[in-house]
Amino acid sequence: MSLDHRLSPEHEELRRTVEEFAHDVVAPKIGDLYERHEFPYEIVREMGRMGLFGLPFPEEYGGMGGDYLALGIALEELARVDSSVAITLEAGVSLGAMPVFRFGTEEQKREWLPRLCSGEILGAFGLTEPDAGSDAGGTKTTAVRDESTGEWVINGSKCFITNSGTDITGLVTVTAVTGRTDAGKPLISSIIVPSGTPGFTVAAPYSKVGWNASDTRELSFSDVRVPFANLLGEEGRGYAQFLRILDEGRIAIAALATGLAQGCVDESVKYAKERHAFGRPIGDNQAVQFKIADMEMRAHMARIGWRDAASRLVLGEPFKKEAALAKLYSSTVAVDNAREATQIHGGYGFMNEYPVARMWRDSKILEIGEGTSEVQRMLVARELGLSG
């Protein structure tokens, strides 16, 4: 594969377009929405019109015919300004639509992807449960066949599910135990549950530390019935399917984390030039300069990491280790840069009117969501041939 991570003219045009959108459309509105914990419907509609939700999908399904690198570019530019908007796109594409594209039947793709790609509806991925987070194999949600009606009967609950309760949420792909092996191990399958299905209840939004303009909910399923045809992929292959989805999603989260890290640099450079102390800009002080230089170094290296992983995915090469490394490193530096940006801003960094306060609150979840930092280290160790 090429070691040149410079963008093609098409990718660079996309980057500039999303950068302009983030600064001209997202930045002026998101602060108020964030503080009011309101979902950015107008912004999401505009993102849909721009084709951002269809970036990595073929045109035959309503997509833009791009690739995962294009998705990462868009996520990074959005997260430089705001992570709530970025995670809405990330979850809508990599967790909502991608399972349908990767594992769905042709009928399922034709039914769901055009509306998902246009942003008309959002999809969600119901994996995490109160007792099954990193240990996804501990899934307790069940789906039992009712042969008399040709339906799955689903019971259980999910938690921390992004995009699951908005006014435009169209479906949630739910992982559930559908049987047992001869050794008694659970067979986990993925099943599409359309929003509004009787027995499918969406709780009120969580009160969160960050990502306050994104939608995150707890879901419950009480004798929820959907047709056998809503099975996504092969029965009993749900565990392998979502591992693949999470491998890809880590690249997307790494791009988002890189954007947050770079946004901290952007805001710190701006503030260091404008803020005066002792008769001169604080950016004249070498201590501040060195902090910002280190922040830029971290963001730059994180960018190389996620683009490398994305390039391997696009080329059809193994990328599991590189995705885990990119997610681990970028999430770490996002937290580091957010902390340093807050320090550079001093007391103003603790005020919500400044973007870095939002970035500080948003950064920590990046070390947890879509695989904790500990899980990433475990995956890297396994890829190096270590086990235990």
Query: Which sequence positions are flagged as catalytic?
Result: 370
Determine the distance from the C-alpha atom of residue 91 to the mean position of all C-alpha atoms in its chain, rounded to a whole number: 4
Q: Give the H/E segment covering residue 192.
A: strand 186-194
- Report the alpha-carbon distance of residue 66 to residue 123 in Å, rounded: 19
Distance CA 178, CA 161 (A): 21
Whether the Cβ atoms of residue 86 and residue 75 lie closer than 8 Å to each other = yes
The distance from CA 242 to its chain's CA centroid, rounded to whole angstroms, is 14
* Nearest C-alpha neighbor of 73 from the set 310, 268, 293: 310
For residues 143-166, one letter each, b for 16 or more C-beta atoms within 10 angstroms of the residue's C-beta and e for the rest, the string is beeeeeeebbbbbbbbbbbbbbbb
Would you state the structure tokens that stand for residue 114, as one six-digit string?
């055009």
Q: Which residues contact 120 (CB under 8 A, 6 or more apart)?
A: 48, 168, 170
Could you count the other beta carbons within 10 Å of the beta carbon of residue 320? 20
The values of phi and psi at residue 276, to 5°, are -105, 140
DSSP H helices, 36-134, are: 41-50, 68-79, 83-90, 98-103, 106-118
Contacts of 258 (CB under 8 A, 6+ apart): 76, 79, 299, 302, 303, 305, 306, 330, 333, 334
Q: Do residues 161 and 125 make contact, with C-beta atoms less than 8 angstroms apart?
A: yes
Distance separating alpha carbons of residues 326 and 112, to the nearest angstrom: 30
Q: What is the CA radius of gyration of the chain?
A: 21
Q: How far apart are CA 150 and CA 226, in angstroms?
A: 9
Could you tell me which residues are beta bridge partners of residue 236? Answer: none
| Contact between residue 299 and residue 258 where contact means Cβ atoms under 8 Å apart | yes
